Amino acid sequence: MPHGLRTVSGRLAVVTGAASGIGRATAQELAKRGAALALCDLDEVGLERTNQELRGVANRVFVQRVDVTDEAEVRGFAADVQRELGVADLVVNSAGIVVAGPFLETPLADWDRLLDVNLKGSVRVCRAFLPAMVTRGRGGYVVNIASAAAFTTIANLSAYGASKHALMGLCQGLTEEFFRHRIGVSLICPGFVDTPIAKHAELRGARDVDAERERIARFLRARGLTAARVAERIVNAAERGQAIVTVGIEARALRTLSRVAPSALPFLMVGGRRLASWLSGRG
């Protein structure tokens, strides 16, 4: 069981990908619970929108444009946060991208970019913020946002799923290594969440990309799993010290089946197979 923070009130929380979706909702939830915030994203307009929303709500807010694929920018952000606000108590890695499509139509450049953001982005952020946590000697917490795809990956999401499986492995290693420093680690695995990510997803092999994006957006809206609900579970995980947290019925089912009946996984998730059909342009 990871060490939990017990409360985020009065703590300093870092959130990447805070301009929209789960990252933005997490910043809002942390603000409501009394945390000071250091937020970053590549999207400056969205980040400033989050900043304005949280002014007067959060204990304190510091924002900076950061590309998590750029190690120098990430390290600069960590140094600026420490100078302005102090040592982080909580780091939430929410920055992520989606590339979907048939395996043979997904170029290696897409694989490189997915891993650079979804996996190595979290690695860079942890490498930048964990040393100060360790040196301070009062513990801390890291939350990495994965997906139900960390348990199984449906067709046309091979690259995305591989990045989330890898993130699970990273969390397991960090948990073992930093336990003695009283730094806990959580992996959050949501199902299909209604966020703007569909608007930005790269779709390979689709006949009509705009139409496919709209179909995915409708599917996510119909599913009804909100970013706010995921954010609540993220903050709870950090406070309570929960190692792996599933959000949504499909995520819970996939985790259970991956442990007790892995051979049944390909036959689960009619909705997931329908989404795969949409992503391949057959919907």
In the chain the domains, ranked by start, together with CATH numbers, are 12-279 (3.40.50.720)
> Pick from 167, 178, 189: which is nearest to 237 by CA?
189
**pLDDT value, residue 191:** 77
Q: Which is higher by pLDDT, 276 or 19? A: 19
Enzyme catalytic residues: 160
Residue 278: band (very low, low, confident or very high) from pLDDT cuts 50, 70, 90: very low
Question: pLDDT for 210-238, tens place per residue?
Answer: 776 667 667 666 667 899 999 999 999 99
**In this predicted structure, what is the pLDDT of residue 89?**
98
Q: At 273, is the pLDDT very low, low, confident or very high (cuts 50, 70, 90)?
A: very low
Hey, which bits of 157-243 come out as E strands?
183-190, 193-194, 202-203, 225-226
The pLDDT of residue 275 is: 45
Question: Residue 34 — left, alpha, or beta (φ > 0 → left; ψ -120 to 50 → alpha)?
Answer: left
pLDDT tens string 86-120: 999 999 999 999 888 899 999 999 999 999 999 99
The pLDDT tens digits for 155-193 are: 888 999 999 999 999 999 999 999 999 999 999 998 777
What does the angle CA 187 – CA 191 – CA 196 come to, to the nearest 5 degrees? 100
The confidence band for 265, taking pLDDT boundaries of 50, 70 and 90, is: low
**CA-closest candidate to residue 151, choices 246, 46, 54:** 246
User: Is 279's pLDDT higher than 50?
Assistant: no
**Does the pLDDT at position 263 exceed 70?**
no
pTM (2 decimals)?
0.87
